[in-house]
């Protein structure tokens, strides 16, 4: 073990980009940093790896401390190792992105953790290289939601087709043709149309749907390719 003593020691951080959706716009959660350097500036949610943890353990701990739950979808997507990325200590950071339902966690996140949701298009300047992390996480989210149904985790359990279309328009940052979108989604046969309506959008109301995870899992190919 003494052979390790001459080796350089570095800190390993875990930073989480947390995406949410408010039925109109894709949001990202930031916190105000409460210590130097960059005290008072906006930051991603993060922390340091502990000796007894794996990276996934650390990311789960950070997200659990923030939301109180353990079943949030998250994905590790990049490691950042620029020598001067942290002015205090040589720190490598592995970043994750996560998706949550804003309606379910909003009060706990914003009131108890001094956090704030920002529209993706109005993200403030962040500390260190966190803006680069956000940009890369957004590109990854766009790719993943085009080939897998993880985007449904941003919606309430029951949602309208309009909400679903607005979600994908926000993620992909482009306007989608309503007829083409609805036809594409229905052709996948992974939604259940309920005998319930959301009456807030119009006097006639809009039918509500739920994502059928069992039907999706039962498909032999689990094919989900949303080319829009």
Domain around 39: 2-147
Could you give the percent of the chain with pLDDT greater than 70?
92
Same domain, 168 and 142: no
E-assigned strand segments in the chain: 11-21, 26-32, 42-43, 45-48, 73-80, 91-99, 115-119, 159-160, 191-198, 206-211
Q: pTM of the prediction?
A: 0.91
Q: How many distinct structural domains can be found in the chain? A: 2
Residues 25 and 125 in one domain: yes
CATH number where 187 lies:
1.10.10.10
- Looking at 100, 128, 147, the residue that finishes a domain is 147
Q: Are 29 and 45 in contact (CB under 8 A)?
A: yes
pLDDT digits (tens, 9 = 90+) for 132-166: 999 999 999 999 998 889 999 999 999 999 999 99
Of residues 194 and 108, more confidently modeled: 194
Mean pLDDT of the chain: 90
24: tokens are: 């109109």
């Amino acid at each position: 073990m003494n052979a390790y003593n001459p080796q350089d020691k570095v800190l390993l951080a875990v930073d989480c980009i947390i995406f949410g959706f408010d039925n109109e716009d894709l949001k990202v959660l930031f916190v105000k940093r409460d210590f130097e350097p960059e005290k008072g500036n906006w930051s991603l949610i993060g922390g340091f790896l502990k000796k007894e943890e794996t990276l996934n353990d650390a990311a789960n701990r950070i997200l659990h401390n923030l939301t109180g739950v353990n079943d949030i979808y998250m994905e590790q997507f990049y490691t950042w190792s620029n020598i001067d990325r942290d002015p205090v200590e040589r720190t490598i950071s592995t970043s994750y992105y996560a998706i949550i339902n804003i309606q379910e966690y909003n009060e706990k996140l914003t009131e108890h953790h001094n956090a704030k949701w920002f529209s993706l298009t109005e993200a403030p300047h962040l500390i260190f290289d966190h803006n680069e992390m956000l940009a890369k996480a957004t590109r990854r989210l766009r790719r993943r939601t085009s080939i897998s149904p993880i985007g449904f985790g941003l919606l309430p359990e029951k949602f309208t087709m309009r909400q679903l279309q607005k979600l994908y328009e926000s993620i992909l940052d482009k306007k989608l043709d309503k007829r083409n979108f609805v036809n594409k989604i229905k052709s996948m046969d992974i939604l259940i149309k309920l005998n319930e309506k959301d009456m807030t959008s119009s006097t006639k109301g809009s039918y509500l749907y739920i994502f059928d995870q069992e039907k999706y899992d039962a498909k032999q190919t689990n094919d989900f390719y949303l080319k829009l």
